[in-house]
Amino acid sequence: MLKKIREKILKGKRLTRSDALKLFETDDIFALGELASYVAKNKNGNKAYFVRNLHVNPTNICVNRCGFCAFSRSKGENGAFELTIKDILRRIRKAQPISEVHIVGGLHPEWQFEYYLEMLSSIKKSFPELHIKAFTATEVDYMHRISGLSLKDVLKALKSQGLDSMPGGGAEIFHSSVRNRLCPEKLSGERWLEVMEAAHSVGIKTNATMLYGHIENYEHRVDHLMRLRELQDRTGGFQAFIPLSYHPKNTEIGGRNSSGIDDLKTIAVSRLVLDNFPHIKAYWVMLGEKVSQLALLFGADDLDGTVIDEKITYSAGGKRTGITENELVHLIKKAGKKPVERDSFYRSIRRCKTA
Ligand code: V47
């Protein structure tokens, strides 16, 4: 069944929508892994990347209450929190040595745009070497609405105060038939892509994600990948694609966790379809350490990082928040790959003995 697709891949030809669907539908997981691994090796050799990073969620108070999210709260609800800039700086200080801080939070009903700018400039002032990867397309679109500024002016202002790149969250599933049921209040898939296009146009690199394993089907996943590939053809601004495996605990829509086979399949198909994305990330926080290690043989070349203080997955039944560099190196080496500590633009950091 995969013969024709295999030939295309070996010749370096681009896969079609129908090829992508066939890949999702196949039970031949080993053939899929072999092909994805072949493509990953051509792109990144035997390397598997990781970064020393901290996650900071400035608030979980959110005016959108997405059906898959166990992290968000309404203002005044039990468990709702708001961090001050001092709190954030304290957390960053405590997490040293790190090279990246990943900041995402809820859409707070009262915070002004200036608060986000001050957050960035204060972090940069205290930690000038630290890469700030912050704010999803959802948050940036919200900042555009609360500030009255154009999207590009919001992005330029964030950049001028210290934003170095943007994470890929908020993409979920672009297709409106799924999105309207999953997160009706959230920005549309088209708008998410517009925000990313604007970010790329002002020189901000970003990532992209896809939340899978809930109410979507393979056609929706393929549609999502195709739209990302199309935008990447035009801008080249995406660095990594991260399939996010849905966690059902404490969520409104419930359901079950994805299977290990589906996780590996999704990594492999992403690697094969997104031929213009330099990196595919196996996010260990959602996949678990063991499946993410296997994902390195199914097309992934990046395990994300130490991910200190992760809360979004943890609230939805994630097992762990934070892993040591030694553990990451061990997982990578046991997969037969070469561990490379990277910065946020995938440049090797030399202090790592194993790099
Ligand atoms: O946008 C929310 C997802 C995302 C659940 O860019 C859930 O480097 C699973 O985007 N089960 C935030 N997923 C995380 C994210 C991310 C993570 C790591 C690296 C990068 C990067 C980005 O988490 C949200 C949403 O899609 N999410 N709830 C849940 N119950």
Q: Does residue 113 have its Cβ closer than 6 Å to ligand 1?
A: no
**In sequence order, which ranges of 165-259 are alpha helices (DSSP H)?**
176-182, 189-201, 218-235
3-state secondary structure of 192: helix
Task: For residue 109, give the nearest of 150, 78, 73 by alpha carbon.
Answer: 73
Q: What is the pLDDT of residues 89-146, one digit of tens each?
A: 999 999 999 999 999 999 999 999 999 999 999 999 999 999 999 999 999 999 999 9
Where residue 117 falls (left for φ over 0; alpha for ψ -120 to 50; beta otherwise) is: alpha
Token pair 């213009």: residue = 276
Instruction: State which ligand 1 atom lies nearest to the alpha carbon of 70.
Output: 30
pLDDT at 46: 98
Ligand 1 atom closest to the Cα of residue 249 is: 30
pLDDT band, residue 66 (cuts 50/70/90): very high
**Per-residue model confidence (pLDDT) at position 140:** 98
| pLDDT tens figures, 254-282 | 999 999 999 999 999 999 999 999 999 99
Ligand 1 atom showing the smallest separation from residue 247 Cα: 11
- For atom 15 of ligand 1, which residue has the closest CA? 169
**Strands, DSSP E only, in the chain?**
47-51, 53-56, 100-103, 131-134, 165-166, 205-212, 238-245, 279-280, 302-305, 338-341
State if residue 209 touches ligand 1 by the CB under 6 angstroms criterion: yes
For residues 287-301, average pLDDT: 98
SS3 state of residue 206: strand
For residue range 166-207, what is the model confidence (pLDDT) as tens digits? Answer: 999 999 999 999 999 999 999 999 999 999 999 999 999 999
Domain count, the chain: 1
Res. 350 pLDDT band, cuts 50 70 90: confident
The better pLDDT of the pair 352, 252 is held by 252
Distance CA 299, CA 32 (A): 9
Query: Does residue 303's CB lie within 6 angstroms of at least one atom of ligand 1?
Result: no
Measured over all CA atoms, what is the biggest interatomic distance in the chain, rounded to whole angstroms? 58
Q: Is the CB of 316 under 6 A from ligand 1?
A: yes
211 Cβ closer than 6 Å to some ligand 1 atom? yes
Q: Is the dihedral of CA 189, 193, 198, 203 positive or negative?
A: positive
Q: What is the mean pLDDT of residues 35-44?
A: 98
Q: Is the CB of 169 under 6 A from ligand 1?
A: yes
Any ligand 1 atom below 6 A from CB of 167: yes
Tell me, in angstroms, the distance from the centre of ligand 1 to residue 261's CA: 20
- Express as a percent the part of the chain with pLDDT over 90: 97
Q: Confirm or reject: Cβ of 70 under 6 Å from ligand 1.
A: yes
Task: At 252, list the tokens.
Answer: 């409104």
Identify the residue whose C-alpha is closest to ligand 1 atom 30. 247
Confidence (pLDDT) at 355: 42
**Atom 8, ligand 1: residue with shortest CA distance:** 167
- Give how far the C-alpha of residue 289 lies from the chain's centroid of Cα atoms, to the nearest Å: 17
Dihedral angle sign, alpha carbons of residues 135, 301, 18, 21? negative
pLDDT attached to residue 242: 98
d(CA 154, CA 152): 5
Percent of the chain with pLDDT over 70: 99
The CATH code of the domain that includes 287 is 3.20.20.70
**Of 107, 206, 258, 312, best ligand 1 pocket probe by most atoms within 8 Å of the beta carbon:** 312
Nearest CA to ligand 1 atom 21: 167
What one-character DSSP code corresponds to residue 164? -
pLDDT at residue 351 in the model: 60
Query: How many A from CA of 348 to the centre of ligand 1?
Result: 25
Q: How far is CA 303 from CA 16, 261, 296, in A?
A: 28, 18, 8
Domain that holds residue 42: 3-351
168 CB near ligand 1 (under 6 Å): yes
Kindly state the average pLDDT of the residues 68-84.
97
Please work out whether the CB of residue 246 comes within 6 Å of at least one atom of ligand 1: yes
- The reply to whether ligand 1 has any atom less than 6 angstroms from the CB of 304 is yes
Give the mean model confidence (pLDDT) for residues 205-230: 98
Is the beta carbon of 158 within 6 A of some atom in ligand 1? no
Atom of ligand 1 lying closest to residue 286 CA: 9
Q: If you measure from the C-alpha of residue 87 to the centroid of ligand 1, how many angstroms do you get, rounded to a whole number? A: 23
Residues 239, 64, 249, 322: what is their CA dihedral angle, to the nearest 10 degrees? Answer: 40
Torsion of CA 269, 275, 277, 283, to 10 degrees: 20
pLDDT at 61: 98
pLDDT mean across residues, the chain? 97
The rounded distance, in Å, linking the Cα atoms of 299 and 282 is: 9
Of ligand 1's listed atoms, the one at least distance from the Cα of 166 is 6
Amino acid at site 90: R
At residue 321 the predicted structure's pLDDT band, cuts being 50, 70 and 90, is confident
